[in-house]
Structure formats: C-alpha cells, structure tokens
Structure 1
C-alpha cells in the first residue's frame, strides 16, 4: 500500500498559511496580522528617473492616491478681507458698548486685530534739534555749575514725590491688581446706604480701557438697612450702566443668593472653553465682600476685617467645580471726599480718630432726628455738645473723674453705631424721569 503524503505546513511567523494549533503556541499571529505587517514593509517600484511605476496594496479604482504637496497647506486657512474686518470691528464696538453683552469664543477671535490700537507717531528729532548744533566734530559740551545744581534739586524733589506716592499706596493695591488679573468676572460690592460714594470709578475706567474682555457686576449689599423703595430706585439707576443685583449678606437667611448664583452659573456656561471661571470681589472696606462670600457658601469661610489692612492677601474659595471666588482686601481709592465722608463709608477705624467729636455735627445733620431719639432716647438738644453731654449721662462709664462728661467716648459711640447700622442712614436715589 502506498503511504499518504504528509503536507508540510510552513512554520515561519510571517507566513499567512501557517498552522495555528491550540496549545503551547496558541498566541500566534493571524493571517490578517501577517498581511498588515507585510504592508508596512512594502515599497513602491520606481524607474530610473525615480518616478513611481507600481505601488503594492494600491486601490485599482483610484488613479492616484498620493497627496500633492502644496505651500497652501502651511499658510493660515482663516482669511478675512480688510473691508470685512472693518465692518466686523464696527459692529463689535457697537455691541460691546452695552455691558450686558458677552463675547463667545474669545480664544478663536483675533482680538489684537479687532482692537483699535493708536498709531505711534514717529519722533521728529530734526525738528526739535538741528543736526549742526549737535553733531560737531571738535565741539565739547561744558556743563555749568548752576545747571548741575538745578539738576540735583530736581532729582531731590522727584524723589520726595515718589516716596509720598509709594507710601500712599498700601500693599492691598497690589492684591487688588492680582484679583483683577486673575478674574474673568469682577463683582464690585457697594454699600446700599451710599452706592455712589462706595463706587470705584478709577477701577471701572481701568476695566473699560485695558480689560475690555472682563465683565463687571454691581452688587448692592446691606439692603436690609434701607427701605425697599430706596433699593428699587438704586437698582433702576445703576442698571443703566452695569448689571446690578440686590443682596443681604446673612449667613442664615441671605437675600438675593439664588439670583447671584444663577448669574454666576450663566457666566460659567458662557465661558465653557475654560476649565473654571474666576469671580473676583472688590470694593471699599466694610462693604461686606467677605460676608457675601460666606453667605454664598453658607458658612463663615472668609475672615471679616472692618477696615483697610496691610497683611491681608487674596483668598481662593471654591463655590462649585467650575466657579472659583476670589476675596480681595478692601482699599481706599483716591477721591475728593472729606474726612467726614470717608468716616461715613466706614473705611476708618473709630479707635484711630484723634478728635471724634468734630464729626458729630455732620452726623446730626445727615441722620434724621427721630432715628436718634429712638436709638438713644434723647428728645431735645441744642447743639452737638449738648447732645454728647446728654448721651454721656446715659452711657456706662460716660463720666470721667469729678463727674465731667467723656465727650470723646460718646462721639465714638455715635460713629460706631452709624457704621454698624444701628442708626438708620442712607442716601436717597436719584429720581427717574418717567419716559
């Protein structure tokens, strides 16, 4: 009998028809894997000139599957004409003049082209100084002694001015600029008793000129200290310039918390290209910035400081996963207010006043008489001195040795009660014309 021929199967790992026996060598390459590996090693056939004649694994339906090299692949694909750019720039300026509009996708827009930058004029040096008077070969300049002394005097005066400006600006100003640079939305907290007096026009001008991509919101805090009609009037007045919200920073029962959080969530939705949206709180001291943040978090998370401090720095507080709150130390901004106006804003500690009695007359003018009678149970008084004397008789420890009234303590008590809200005081809103 003839023996059957045994068919020898190839054992090479790159052979598509090799056997794949289940056992020790069960992790062998499949036929599809072998064909794919061979495709990677294949090279096209070229003629003497280097032209491709035949390519392995080439589709027969397509005549040429090679991408032609072109310089247009390495140039910008998003182009815009000059007229279109001018029209878009004018339309953007008209729309962004309204503070209620928000730009979507700022990273995709060429903001450097959209901003109208002032053109720098070339300095005409030859018009101010002729060439003959300066570039003379054999001429040597002689500095007179009088000019040298005048130069030294000018240096001394400029040094004194610089030292005064540096000493006038506290370290909290540097923290303020850090908050502005790190924030996408700036919330300016105002005292509802005097909103216009606690506004920082210098900061608003800085944001309009140099930080147009940042958004400003006005927050009227301490609305529980003024009547409802006054709050409504101020919101109507301030809403014409910036989005304005009313708030009362109470940890247990805050007013306006839901509306403020909804606005912050809208900004987080609009700024979807960012991982998190930073909300910076700025304003004068004693307006309640830290109290607002604590009310949003339903716990006292920020340390409350009543006046401007040197050591306080900005704090990052997480409200949600995409909303970060930045607490800024309060600062007194340059303005033409008198000492009494600054005292009414609460930016000065009462303990640091040298003569608190001199501000009592202004307090009696601005505060209604019925509120003072209700707070201190004093009915009639002739002037501020008579009022302080009667108040000393009611206060504990209001009399010095010998039975003399302590006018300084009584005056500080009145100012403290005024700043804390025990004595009602507010600036009425401007009357709106019925249109």
Structure 2
C-alpha cells in the first residue's frame, strides 16, 4: 500500500519542518501576495490610530521613541585622524624631488597626495596694511591713513626721475606695438594724450622714439592686424586653452626643429608653473 499524497507526508519526506503553505496576511483569491505587499507599502506612510485618535503604531521613520545613544568608548576619538611621521614626510619629499627632475615621469592624481605639506608657499610681495602701518597711524588724532604715502621717493627730484622712467617705458612699449603691427600710429598718437604734448614732454626728457613724428609713414601698419582680433575671438580662444590646461595632466609642447625665436609660449609656461603645478609639460 503506497504512501498517502498529503502535505504532511511531503514535508516529512523532504525533511521540511516549517509549514510550506504560508500566505501573506491579506492574500486571497482576489489579491495576490505581490498586490498585498504593494498596498502595505502605501499604508506605511501613515500612522495607525485608535478610535480616540491616539497613535497605536507610528509611521515608518517617525517613531517617537528616543533611542539610547551611546558613543563607543574608544581612544581613537581623542587622537589625530590623519597624521604622518617626519621620516615618512622626508622620504616623500626626497622622492618627489627626484621624480620632478625626470622629464619622462609624470604625477597623476596629485590631489590624493599631501602636496601641501611639502610645497613651500610663495611669498607675497604685497604687504598687509596692518603690518605696514601702526595703530597710531591708522586710528586716533594723529591718523595719517588717508594721506598719500610716498615710500618710493622722498623729494620732488626723485618724483621727477620716477616720472621720466615711467614715460620712457611707456613709449618703449608703444613703439614695440607699432613695430609689430599690433597698434596703428594714429591710435598711438591719440592714446590718452595729444601727439604735440607727447613730443614736448619727450623733448624735455631728451628722448625721442623713432615713431614720433613719422605717423604718416606708418599709417599703413594698422592693416597688418587681423580683423579677428578685434571681435573678441582671441579672449575666447585663450579661455578654452586655459580650460584645456586645467583639465590635462600632461601637455606636449611641439616646437620647430629649427627652434626659431617665439615658438616657446612663455605665458603658458608661467601659468603652468604658478597656477597649475599638477600639469607636466614636455617638449
């Protein structure tokens, strides 16, 4: 006579002790277990109340029971979180100095390294006003803060010499712009002051640049400048170049084999050296 095909016989035969026919509360012929779980999820957002309005079961994540918060007693709470020994810092500084000399090695992801511990801060030439002036010179009856402080010169002769030097440097720069075709002679003559005033001042200074008095001969030099530079294109190109430099780890500077003058961009090199030390440039 065979074994009866019953649920209890199947559980004992398969070695199962728990009830195999477990249903979710609310599951019936009309609602499946998945539908009941979905409806229970909607009901979890509200608190359950009795007939008097008292909360019998709080909503999810809204329990009013204050848990007992105890901080684990550990000595690490009273120690430094991130420390480095002087020996390790010295070894890291020497390793970085050796790698910096090798042009074929580049440092990637420098943000994860303690670069601020080994990088010397650049000394600023601008002096703070608090350190430059004393308290008595800034506040009080003897305050001289609103007065002009002439530290570069003490007499009127020194002031005149400084004015002569600045005038000569200005004319040198203007002459260089006119020679390179970046500034027309007419614009140079009308830049800030009249040409007659400039000539008179230069005669008093015993210095006459070659362009002064020859504006008509160099009037055609303004046509050398491309019109694209007067439309704001140059500034956008430089901004895109700076974005490329900031987002790059290695920049390859391609030079002419003959190495003519002007192929090396000193502006980019200075920018990388001062403002983007994480970028390595190879030529």
TM bracket (short chain) = 0.3 to 0.5
TM-score, length basis structure 2 = 0.40
TM-score, length basis structure 1 = 0.29
Higher strand proportion (structure 1 or 2):
1
| Larger of the two Rg values belongs to structure | 2
